[in-house]
Structure 1
Amino acid sequence: MNDLASSSSSGESSSDSEDAPEMVSHFDDLPTDDSDSEGEGEDGVHGGSSESDCGGSESSERNLPLADRIARAAGMGRKYTKEAEDRDFDGGKKRRVERRSRALTVASRRLREARMGNGDAGVDDQVHTIDESTEINKKSKKSKHKPTEMSSKRRDYFSRGRPDLNSAGLGVSVGAKKYKARDPRMVSLSGHLDADVFEKRFGFLDDIQDNEIDNLKMRVHAWKQTGKRGQKARKKLGITVGEGSLEDDREELTRLLQERAERKRARVVRAAKRSVKQKLREDVASGKRAAYYPKRSELRRMEVEAKFEEIRKRGGDDAVDKAIAKRRKKNVAKSHKLMPSHMI
């Protein structure tokens, strides 16, 4: 009994000594991973080692600072792996573009090799990959000596080589003295316009206009007639149903009459100015007066006198009285417009 008690007490003391942690007095006495693995191999008990590891990790976490523990917890709770983090945020688009470019490069290289094997070396010079073409375009520098490029969408592109007067064998070099249409009435290259000479050369136009006025008067008269007489008159003039109207013929007749009256008035004014200038020349030539330039008011008075004299030559005294009465009536109407209404 004593032996059993002593043995049991010695076993309990040995177990207590084994469970109790050893006192570490030096840095070399600390346990290592190799020692733990060897101990697990010798004992063959896995549960105890795992419990000891968990306890050690918990104790180590307690000893870590708060910031390190938060960082470790965040790392353990991440959803994606490191490979997913290294992936681009564009959903793998960059990788697909790179794979496509590599595939195109390989395909173009194989095509070039196949053509070289078939002996089609001329076509091989024209085959370029997308990467090579982009690199050439980036590296190429525009030269100022290159000819200017022009789009075929411009109108000038299609006018190149167009036949014109310069290329018609007229002895004019291309690009010099190009033909330009011009209106002789708007430029002075044809000389000064002499209205008197123009009237003499194109006097037949007045006769044509007079015939048109007479024809329009007859048409207006035929439009005004009614019954069978009006039908016969319109038929005689060649007026059919739906061809013109009374209003149109009246407007055309009024326009031609105004043009003829204005032309006659301008002719009278030119004749009056011409007579005044001729009289001044004669006075200077005869010695009655020296050469001088009259004032505008004096020149206007002389032109009015010459105008009425010209009217007397063309229509007599009755035409002069008629022109004076018309002028007086016009001046009275003008003065009435300037006066207040209660004084008229």
Structure 2
Amino acid sequence: MTPTELEAHLAQLPKVLLHDHLDGGLRPQTVIELAADAGHDLPTDDPEALADWFQESADSGSLVRYLETFDHTIAVMQTAAALHRVAREAVLDLAADGVVYAELRWAPEQHLRGGLGLQDTVDAVQAGIVEGIELAASGGRVIRVGQIVTAMRHADRWQEIAELAVANRDAGVVGLDIAGAEDGFPPSRHPEIWRYLADADFPVTIHAGEAAGLESIAEAVHLGQADRLGHGARIVEDIDLDHTDGVATLGSLAHWVRDHQIPLELCPCSNLQTGVAPTIAEHQITRLKELDFAVTLNTDNRLMSRTSMTNEMTRLVREAGWTIDDLADVTITAAWSAFIHHDERRALVDDVILPGYQAIEGAQL
């Protein structure tokens, strides 16, 4: 296949997306229009040039610099109308990319400058998600989307945000995350919330193993009792690979993560930008998948990485030698790792994912 044919082919596949930041996936034109309404200055008012700016700024190789790009997107998401629009458009964009199930994560505490309360922000995002799902359905695309409410590590509002998430478990919120500066703000900063969430039977994913290493992962899975790891790529630091014969020796933490099949929310294009991996071909996702870790494929921030699920898949096929079976494996793993109930996961796999892949069974990528 030509590159264009390959991408068109992969665009048809059903996709499951577990790690996608709402404030990292805005359309450039939307950023410009919302910035004009908010009186916020941008580097440029040209959509294509703005898309270039976000990508180039995020390509620094530094997570700290990468996170600075969010100053602009968060600034234009300070009203209920803006949150509603961004959520609606995110759902439509994901559905157009073939995503059939997604979890959008975002931090309500970052959207209060315009006078909204925490509950107001959750309501606005949920209304946008619902409208996006309805519009996608009217266009012939079925998608299910949940919210993951995020607490910012440095802001120390973890308990408050955890309570907000639990309070909205029947109103679209499917899990809790902590994000932001990983190094220096570990789960042990507020250990009490992990007991609270466990007692509430509430799902947790924790950013770990991206900017910080094994200690961060260990705290996430042991203290935080994380059901999934946001990224988790640096678990390879606990794996000794003999390059002579290809034999891998796992340390105790790597064994724990693999033995318990704790899903890794890996994001190849984003990880290149933040210096987690040098190239797509050398990204940890391929080796971890070969070693039977529970690997999932994600976009992280579609605006900053100028990516989509189709693009992530295309690059793994072209640059890392992935096959249609590899893509099916990570998609099914993601579906079984979703923050929905077991019977709903089974229906997602049996009724949506498998038929979608079987429709192109035998395809040579």
Q: TM-score, normalised by structure 2?
A: 0.17
Structure whose alpha-carbon radius of gyration is higher: 1
Q: Which has the higher strand share?
A: 2
**Greater relative CO, 1 or 2 (CA 8 Å, sep 6+):** 2
Q: Which has the higher helix share?
A: 1
Q: TM-score, normalised by structure 1?
A: 0.18
